[in-house]
Amino acid sequence: MTPLTHKVCMLGDFGVGKTSLVARYVRSTFSDKYLTTVGVKVDSKEVALPGRDPLKLVLWDIAGRSALDAPSTSYLRGASALLLVADGTRETSLSSALNLLMQSRSTLPDAVAVLAVNKLDLVERWEVAATTLSELRRSLPVFETSALSGAGVEEAFAEIARRLPG
Amino acid sequence: MTSSGFGDAAGRPAAPAPVVVSEPAEPALREAVPAEGDFERLRELLLGGERRELAAARARIEELERAQRDLPGRLPDAAVEALRSEHGNPRVAAALSEPVAQALGAAVQTHRQSLVDALFPILGPMIRKSIAEALRSLVANLNGAIESSFTVRGLKWRFEAWRGGVPYAEVVLKHRLAYGIDHVFLIERASGLVLHHASAPGLPPLDADAIAGMLTALGDFVGDSVGGDGSGALESAQVGEDLVWVEHGPRANLACFVHGVPPAQLRTLMEQRLEEVHARLLALPADAPLRSIGDDALVRERLEPSVLLRDTDEATAPVAARKPSRLPLLLIALLAIALLGGFAWQRWRWDARVDALRARLAAHPGFMLTGIDARAWRALTVHGLLDPDAEPLDAVLADAGLGAVVPVLDANGYVCADDAVIARRAARLLAPPASAAIAVHGRVLRLSGTAPQPWIDAALARAPWIAGVARVESTLAPTGDAVADARAEIARIVAELQARHVAFVQDDEPVAGADAVVDELAASLRRIAALAPVARVDVETVAYGSNDDSGGSEANARVRAQRAQWLERALVARGIAGARVADAAEPSDAPNRRGAELRTVVHEAHR
């Protein structure tokens, strides 16, 4: 049976580790050079959840930026979910991720949104306070991830899959 | 000796101390001024260290300057040596890359011609190689086309081109340029998600979702970058022989990954298929997700690569698509058969008539046929040998039934030994009276009947000399009253002679067959000339011309004279002299016709 397919867009500031998260999660078909040329790279990953039919996530890794421009907005069309990525060692990247979420709501008012605060392996240098994250968890799922160790990566994507219609 | 005067302990210079000079002054002065050697020693004591350092520095500078001067000479070897070194290679290459790139850039700006000159020997062979490859490919295609021209397949293609009304080259290219459809994607326009995907058999699996996503992203990228007002979209992308064609619909896009050179009809077919998909989308239940179109069996079947290939081939074959009526072809075939049949029949008819003519000419006494040159229904020339005493061929040629073709006779003279020709020759030369008969059998001339004795004597004397006559046999009997018989015979001949005339078309142009009439007139005159001495008469012959009612009197007088002169000349040509020309005078009976005739007057001989 063909699994249901959902488009998931990854948004975040430059250098927060979006591409590394995707690389940790899937085996890419396309080269990263598309990020610098076209501004997006697409991969897919089939997710099996207990008690549910498998889903396929088509991941659109959109080149890092702090605000959405026209091309990035066009890439968001038809997305079912957003994975917002911030760098724990840069508090400004968290602001950028939340800013991108606000901007994308005009295009995707009903899209599932999950926040991944990356670089857990450098937690001792984090600028993002735990209280901030606790506050954020009230409005959207937040995962502390590490593309280096893989911690929290599968969970973040699984959470997206859980929240998507089966 | 004076104080040293070189300064105090602080290094300040001391004021010069007064010098007390006593006699003798000169030697004292010489002693007060330090000698050159002393300066050197002082210098050595005070500046020795610095001077040695200065000398060493100077030597070092000279060494460096010398090295600098030698550098251009040593640099190539040094660079080669450095690049050869196992460890130095990357560093040297990295160090040289930037300046070399800058130098190349500067050289392109300032020494373009030098670069062109330098690169020309490299670019030339590369370009030639590329052109050669392209020509090789073209020649291969041409060879294929030429080879196919003489095969059943080539004829089939020609027929296809003829029926389709397209150039033959286009049909050849259609068949020669192979292409294939590798993948077909039906993609949701908004999200870039795959609605349906099909691949040709034997291809490795691929991440259809990722590819469809990237294709959509590329389309968005192109549209946003260069689309201007947003109406532009990525419709095709090509790398080498691999090609992607994208058709855009309001809700879904259709993409085909193709290798080779597809015909334009594939693009049209894609449009049709996408329209069909959208029609099916409209038929979906309101709550059905868009992706359920991928489960539609008809859509899946219609978007199979093999089906698209088949339908494209059918669309490019106008023969099958149009199924034109066979009636024109049948009519053309019938027309061609009729034309061929008509041509064959005409040719057979011509050949049959030429054969019949050949047979008649071969059987004609006095004529030896040597050949016939014929171009069917255009021209015919008869070649052969013709005895002057043979029956004229005019009638034979005129009765050949060759339509508008007038046979041309190309004949040379000869003497025929056929009995019939010998008989005609003997009759011409002997001019026998009506009571005498001439016959030839086996070249034996037989004279029979009755005739005046003088004629018998003359005939028997001349007959053996007639060409072709081997022997003469005579049963001739002389008539009773030779004079009366001769006069009666002359009267009869004169009556016959005056009943004949040579007809003219106009002016002095005689009708066909005029020669035969002149021959008969000449024969009659010879007979009269032979009988005249026996009959004891003199015969005067006058040639007249006559005319019909047309024309003025002067013109008719001139024409009459011309026709009379023509007849006189024709008789002279046959050995008959003595006929008088009446010029413009008309005979007493003045016939109303275009002709020339003879009138004879018989007188008693004056002896």
pLDDT of A127 over the 70 cut: yes
Of B190, B209, B221, the CB nearest to A38: B221
Q: Hey, what amino acid is at B524? A: S
* Stronger pLDDT, B147 or B435, i.e. the higher one: B435
Q: Report CB contact under 8 Å: B209, A71.
A: no
CA dist A160 and A153 (Å) reads 11
Q: How many CA atoms lie within 13 A of B384 on its CB side?
A: 23
**pLDDT (0 to 100) of residue B87:** 58
* Number of folded domains that form chain A: 1
User: Does residue B3 surpass a pLDDT of 70?
Assistant: no
Task: Decide if B479 contacts B450 (C-beta within 8 A).
Answer: yes
Residue A166 in this model has a pLDDT that exceeds 90: no
Each residue of B519-532: pLDDT tens digit?
999 999 999 998 88
Specify the 3-state DSSP secondary structure of B120.
Answer: helix
Q: Which of A5, A39, A74 sits opposite B193 (nearest CB)?
A: A5
Contact present, A140 and A111 (Cβ < 8 Å):
no
Characterize B479-491 residue by residue with b for buried, 16 or more Cβ atoms within 10 angstroms of its Cβ, and e for exposed: beebeebbbbbbe
Give the residue numbers in A contacting B (CB under 8 Å), as ranges: 2, 4-7, 29-30, 34, 38-44, 56, 58, 60, 70-71, 74-75, 77-80
* Closest CA–CA distance from residue B193 to any residue of chain A (Å): 7
> Cβ of A7 and B211 within 8 Å?
no
The alpha carbon of B563 is separated from its chain's Cα centroid by a whole number of angstroms, namely 58
Position A165 scores a pLDDT of 86
CA B342 to chain centre: 30
Establish if B188 touches chain A: CB-CB under 8 angstroms.
Answer: yes
One-character DSSP codes across B87-117: THHHHHHHHHHHHHHHHHHHHHHH-HHHHHH
- pLDDT tens digits, residue range B545-572? 998 888 888 888 999 999 999 999 999 9
Q: Contact at 8 Å (CB) between A76 and A92? A: no
Confidence of residue B7 (pLDDT cuts 50, 70, 90): very low
Least confident of B118-122, B199-203, B297-301: B118-122
pLDDT band at A39 (very low <50, low <70, confident <90, very high): confident
A42·B213 Cβ contact <8 A: yes
Six token digits for residue B55 = 């000398």
The type of residue at B91 is R
Q: Determine the 3-state secondary structure of A158 from DSSP.
A: helix
pLDDT at B533 over 60: yes
Residue among A2, A4, A5 with most chain B CBs within 10 A, to mutate: A5
d(Cα B468, Cα B415) in Å, to the nearest integer?
8
The pLDDT value given to residue B102? 86
Does residue B24 have a cis bond before it (omega within 30 degrees)? Answer: yes
Residue B568, judged by CB atoms within 10 A of its CB (0-12, 13-18, 19+), counts as buried
Q: Give A70's contacts in chain B (Cβ within 8 Å).
A: 224
Which residues of chain A does B188 touch, with a Cβ-Cβ cutoff of 8 Å? 78
pLDDT surpassing 70 at residue B518: yes
Structure-block tokens of residue B422: 């010998």
Q: Do B206 and A78 touch (CB under 8 A)?
A: no
Residue B257: DSSP 8-state: E
Residue B466 carries which DSSP code? S
User: Is B67 in the A-facing interface, judged by CB distances under 8 Å?
Assistant: no
Among B217-226, B256-265, B326-335, B546-555, where is mean pLDDT lowest?
B217-226
- Count Cα neighbours of B338 within 13 Å in the Cβ-side half-sphere: 6
CATH number of the domain at A18, please.
3.40.50.300
- CB-closest option in B191, B213, B220 to A71: B220
Q: B11 is written with which tokens? A: 């290094």
Phi, psi of A90 (to 5 degrees): -130, 105
* Residue of A4, A10, A40, A42 to mutate for B, most B C-beta atoms under 10 A: A42
The answer to whether B213 faces chain A, any CB pair under 8 Å, is yes
Q: Across B339-400, where does the E strand assignment appear? A: 367-375, 379-386
Which residue of A7, A70, A74 is in closest CB contact with B193?
Answer: A7
- pLDDT tens-digit map of A61-86: 988 877 777 777 888 989 999 999 99
The pLDDT of residue B110 is 83
| Mean pLDDT, range B530-552, rounded to an integer | 88
Interface test with A, best of B197, B206, B220 (most A CBs within 10 A): B220
Name chain B contacts of A62, Cβ cutoff 8 Å. Answer: none
Q: Does the beta-carbon distance from B291 to A5 stay under 8 Å? A: yes
Q: Dihedral of CA B65/B66/B72/B76: which sign?
A: negative
What domain range includes position A90? 4-163
As a whole number, mean pLDDT of residues B75-82 equals 78
CA dist A31 and A28 (Å) reads 7
